[in-house]
Amino acid sequence: MTRIKDIMSSPVITVSPRNSIQEALEIMRDNNTRRLPVTDRGKLVGMLVQHDIENALRSPGRIPHTPVEWVMTKKVHYISPDETIPETARIMITHKISALPVIESGELVGIITDTDLLQVLIRLCEETEVD
């Protein structure tokens, strides 16, 4: 059975909680991503999605120099690299999230997104298609 470690993205592009939301947005744009795990000294401390930044910039008192830690999600769901694809999809659906950091022995080792899961679904459908 395919495990998350077989399809996750690694290494992971991250941002520091001290980076500004403008810097985080530039990192997202430069790397064509909408999500960034937030790490401090190598440990996962939050998750930032493009939508968080857009909402923050529309809020009074939030400016492009606002630190990431002020707008990031601090309660982050994560999975093991040995997790199954169906269980990962269930977690993402249950919590209405589009990405999960992959943690092994306390370290961030990858990230899995809804797009990654859809690519697996496409591959499986194509493999089982009958002409």
Q: What angle do CA 95, 67, 56 make, to 5 degrees?
A: 55
Q: What angle do CA 37, 43, 47 make, to 5 degrees?
A: 20
Residues 6+ apart with CB under 8 A from 7: 85, 112, 116, 119, 120
pLDDT digit string, tens, across residues 81-107: 999 999 999 999 999 999 999 999 999
pLDDT digit string, tens, across residues 16-25: 999 999 999 9
113 pLDDT above the threshold of 60: yes
Please give the model's pTM, rounded to 2 decimal places.
0.88
131 pLDDT above the threshold of 60: no
4-128: CATH number:
3.10.580.10
Query: Domain map of the chain by residue range?
Result: 4-128
Portion of the chain with pLDDT greater than 70, in percent: 98
Q: Which whole number is the average pLDDT over 70-78?
A: 94
pLDDT digit string, tens, across residues 36-53: 999 998 899 999 999 888
Q: Which whole number is the average pLDDT over 17-36?
A: 95
pLDDT digit string, tens, across residues 58-68: 877 778 888 99
* 103 close to 44: Cβ distance less than 8 angstroms: yes
Higher pLDDT, 64 or 117: 117
129 pLDDT above the threshold of 80: no
109 pLDDT above the threshold of 70: yes
